[in-house]
Structure 1
Amino acid sequence: MDTTTALFYVFSAVLLFSGFRVITARSPVHAALFLVLAFFSASCVWMLLHAEFLAISLVLVYVGAVMVLFLFVVMMLDINLDLLRQGFWKHFPVAGLVGVIIALEMAWVLQRGFNVPDPKPMPGAETVPNTKLLGIEIYTDYLYPVQLAAVLLLVAMIAAVALTLRRRKDVRGQNPSEQVKAKKADRLRIVKMDAVRELPSQPAAETTAPAADAAKGKA
């Protein structure tokens, strides 16, 4: 057994163990960290298969972005695991049956995938980088599947945005479009007023007459 084969078995064992711990860990944070370990092990296996571009993409995209988002969401939500585990054994037979069916389907598909004829070597493939060969295969032989996957990802992105755009009555928010349309005349009105207002002066006879009438009434 050479070094490459030994490393393949080591990384494969770590990948299987971390994948098993993802679904059996009691803490969601630990499950996410085991998933990160599974991604690293899978990228190491791809490096042994001389698929450097896929290995680097797996580390950058999933480990560097997706798993950080998973950890952020899990730690922010503060999920109550006791409520999630209620009724686990009640639904375990149905879930086990579905898992066995999916495993058999994956085994059937993978078995058919191994029985493929040897591909014809591309002329000059020894001097072409691995990433360029992958791009040539994707955009020539697998162009329609790539376009279909792009459409599905676009639909999923639009659906995610539509699901999050829900109006809540208990949250106050600002409308940036209305703030941009605001003008000074709509928010402030300037009124010119005199600083001091003079009272009109009354004659002396008019001011003493009511007092004389009041004195006569008392008499």
Structure 2
Amino acid sequence: MDMTTALFYVFSAVMLGAAFRVITARSPVHSALFLVLAFASAACVWMLLRAEFLAIVLVLVYVGAVMVLFLFVVMMLDINVDGLRAGFWKHFPLAGLVGVVIALEMAAVLLGGFRLSEAPATPPADLAMGNTKLLGIEIYTQYLYPMQLAAVLLLIAIIAAIALTLRPRRDTKSMNPADQVRVKAADRLRIVKMDAVVPAAPAADVPPAGETK
């Protein structure tokens, strides 16, 4: 066993252990940190497979941005973990069945890649361009339509998330942007001419204490 194979098994074991702790940790913050560890181990596996671009994108996008956002949201919301775990064992059989089906589907798709005795040879011209340029060529030529479909799905998800946040709520105050655009200066500001000095009003006759009119 060479060093590359040994490192692959080490990083894979760490990634599987971290992924298992993501769903078994009692604290949401600990789950998010274990997910960061799983992403970092996956990036190391990508590096061993000579996919440097995918590895650095995984670190920058998921570890550097998405997981920081997850940690910020989890720590700010103060989620009630006991309420989330109320029906865990009730739904565990169905969740386990779905997980087994997904694992079998992934195994059926990826099993062909593990049967290769050695990696396919890469032409010298492709090595000169680098895997980042080759990935861009493959995405925008052979996989152009799946790329566009994924972009449309992401756009729909963004619109749906914005629509969910725009639902009417009684405890918040909001303004209509259309009314703000149609407003005029004369409706907001009224100039009134006033004298610089206003004479004081005459004081009312107040009888001394103890006297009545």
TM-score higher than 0.5: yes
Indicate how the Cα distance of structure 1 residues 113 and 191 shifts in structure 2: closer, same or farther if over 3 A, else same.
same
Other-structure match for 2:149: 148
Q: Distance in 1 between matches of 2:46 and 2:121?
A: 22
SS in structure 2 of the partner of residue 186 of structure 1: helix
For 1:11-26, list aligned pairs within 5 A: 11-26=11-26
Other-structure match for 1:203: none
State the structure with more CA Rg: 1
Other-structure match for 2:60: 60
Other-structure match for 1:31: 31
Other-structure match for 1:92: 92
What do the CA deviations read for 1:131-161 (whole angstroms, capped 9, x no partner)? Answer: 1111112222222211211111111111111
AA of the residue aligned to 1:159: A
Which stretch of the first structure deviates more once superposed, 188-197 or 75-84? Answer: 188-197
Q: Distance in 1 between matches of 2:20 and 2:98?
A: 17
1:82 aligned onto 2:62: no
Indicate how the Cα distance of structure 1 residues 29 and 78 shifts in structure 2: closer, same or farther if over 3 A, else same.
same
1:125 aligned onto 2:139: no
> How many residues are aligned here?
196
Indicate how the Cα distance of structure 1 residues 160 and 196 shifts in structure 2: closer, same or farther if over 3 A, else same.
closer
Other-structure match for 2:104: 104
Q: Distance in 2 between matches of 1:123 and 1:141?
A: 21
Indicate how the Cα distance of structure 1 residues 141 and 179 shifts in structure 2: closer, same or farther if over 3 A, else same.
closer
Other-structure match for 1:49: 49
Which stretch of the first structure deviates more once superposed, 168-177 or 188-197? Answer: 188-197
SS in structure 2 of the partner of residue 86 of structure 1: coil
For the aligned residues, what is the CA RMSD?
Answer: 2.5
Which stretch of the first structure deviates more once superposed, 157-166 or 26-35? Answer: 157-166
1:134 aligned onto 2:135: yes
Other-structure match for 1:169: 170
What TM-score do you get using the length of structure 1 for normalisation? 0.79
Q: Identity of paired residues, percent? A: 76
Which stretch of the first structure deviates more once superposed, 47-56 or 176-185? Answer: 176-185
Other-structure match for 2:207: none
SS in structure 2 of the partner of residue 150 of structure 1: helix
1:7 aligned onto 2:11: no
Q: Distance in 2 between matches of 1:189 and 1:134?
A: 62
